Amino acid sequence: MKTATPARKIDSFLDQEYSAGFETLLEADTLPKGLSEDVIRVISAKKGEPEFLLEWRLEAYRRWLTMTPPKWAAVSFPEIDFQDIVYYSAPKKKDGPKSLDEVDPELLKTFEKLGVPLHERARLAGVAVDAVFDSVSVATTFQKELGQHGIIFCSFSEAVKTHPELVRQYLGTVVPPSDNFYAALNSAVFSDGSFVFIPKGVKCPMELSTYFRINARDTGQFERTLIIAEEGASVSYLEGCTAPMRDENQLHAAVVELIALDDAKIKYSTVQNWYPGDKDGVGGIYNFVTKRGDCRGARSHISWTQVETGSAITWKYPSVILRGDDSVGDFHSVALSNHRQQADTGTKMIHMGRNTKSTILSKGISAGHGSNTFRGLVRIAPKAEGARNYTQCDSLLIGDQCAAHTFPTIEARNPTAHVEHEATTSRIGEDQLFYAMQRGLTAEDAVSMIVNGFCREVFKELPMEFAVEAQNLLGVSLEGSIG
């Protein structure tokens, strides 16, 4: 890094007026490792952000300095050195592969199994797509059609420039920077993400997906997504993280905020397949994500559906705050951990309004040496008259080296609340495998058939094409799980 400024010098910037201080840094495409107020000023300046956002970031950073990483999750990993991370790196088109021939064949094989079309494979592998297919025009076509409905769908950075008032009004109102260690870190340094705004009364005419938004490819490890559905609006958003990332033990700390006003509906679906590390647990993504929806309006509805098959460590609890009366929150989840993967996931349903309703449906699958933990919190506030929750939490074990844990917590502070909880644990039996194989199926097909059967209730919540992808993904993720 030729343009890097020595650390001592950076420190001395701290007390200076920033406009002069980071000039050299600005020329660099990649900042040196480490985090300081100065680095944050550089990030903000590089993105041409308004003053309020810089202040917001700095405040989050100062808050973060006082916090410590959470230790309560049932995952273990070496301590992360937060000064050993690069917090800003401009899109580096040049070091990406230039054609499919340069891409790791293993990666391509995985895409092929997933049925990802060729041009998408190229894009996901990080090949400069412009040569492969005209993604820009695809994105533009979308934007035009959406614009006619008054829908805003763009990268977060773009939204900051074009609709700063909306960003200012809603950012951090669901997940405040002080919420937790990783949320604070994200707030300080987030690089980009998605922004969606559906105006009053508008039903979004198509599924919105990061898949088609070109900027998403270069979105860094600290993404920020903000989705707002005004009164009576509705939207279905797909977050496709099906690109297996190859980097070693990379930290991914995203924040997603959803806001639903009166009678609005937001459906958020994720199929996450970050690189999980190899079978011995080397490499892989640390996925520490804060996702939360705010049913701010009466009769609003927020629904999370997730299929988590990737990452070395997943730490993720998409939650819903049921603030509006008669609002509804759903959480449908499939989490698979194979080899040495660790998944600690679950949800929080915070009932504040009257007659609020939530459903939690969790399917955990553990194979190999994988460990899967479900953590559920259902909190019924004193004023949440007539609140109802139904929780079903099923675990499936493949082999005898894996583990499944369930930690349901119920805090009901209103006597009219009705909370139901069911949990099961089962193991794929040798007898089931033998039966299926006696009918001509391979062990792999038999396992994937049984697993898909186990997950069916969740898969049917996914949009069609995602459901197919999720099924294939489980098959791929389970390869080598049986001897």
Partner 1 sequence: MLDIKNLKASVEGKDILKGLDLQVKAGEVHAIMGPNGSGKSTLSQVLAGRDAFEVTDGSVTWDGQDLLAMPIEERARAGLFLAFQYPVEIPGVSNAYFLKAAVNAVRKHRGLPEFDAMDFLTRVKAEMKAVGMKEEFLYRAVNEGFSGGEKKRNEVLQMALLEPRLAILDETDSGLDIDALKVVADGVNRLRSPERSLIVITHYQRLLDYIVPDHVHVLSQGRIVRSGGRELALELEEKGYGWIGDAGEIHAAPPAAGGAQ
Nearer CB in complex with partner 1: 3/442: 442
The nearest distance, CB 285 to partner 1, in angstroms, is 29
The nearest distance, CB 13 to partner 1, in angstroms, is 59
What are the angstrom distances between the C-alpha of 88 and each of 42, 166, 210, 242, 291? 9, 25, 21, 23, 23
Nearer CB in complex with partner 1: 173/426: 426
Structure tokens given for 395 = 């675990």
The nearest distance, CB 99 to partner 1, in angstroms, is 35
The nearest distance, CB 412 to partner 1, in angstroms, is 31
Give Cβ neighbours of residue 237 (< 8 Å, ≥ 6 apart): 196, 207, 208, 209, 227, 266, 267, 268, 269
- Specify the 3-state DSSP secondary structure of 69: coil
* Closest by CA position to 74, among listed 373, 483, 288, 296: 373
The nearest distance, CB 170 to partner 1, in angstroms, is 40
What are the angstrom distances between the C-alpha of 235 and each of 87, 208, 215, 249, 444? 32, 8, 20, 34, 37
Taking a C-beta distance cutoff of 8 angstroms, is the pair 390, 360 a contact?
yes
Taking a C-beta distance cutoff of 8 angstroms, is the pair 427, 397 a contact?
yes
Nearer CB in complex with partner 1: 9/113: 113
The nearest distance, CB 304 to partner 1, in angstroms, is 22
**Contact residues for partner 1 (CB under 8 A)?**
426, 429-432, 434-443, 445, 449-450, 452-456
Distance CA(106)–CA(111), nearest Å, equals 9
Give the amino acid at 162: T
Taking a C-beta distance cutoff of 8 angstroms, is the pair 144, 137 a contact?
no
Structure tokens given for 357 = 């309703």
Nearer CB in complex with partner 1: 43/458: 458
Nearer CB in complex with partner 1: 148/438: 438
* Closest by CA position to 422, among listed 395, 391, 380: 391
The nearest distance, CB 426 to partner 1, in angstroms, is 8
Nearer CB in complex with partner 1: 15/430: 430
Nearer CB in complex with partner 1: 60/451: 451
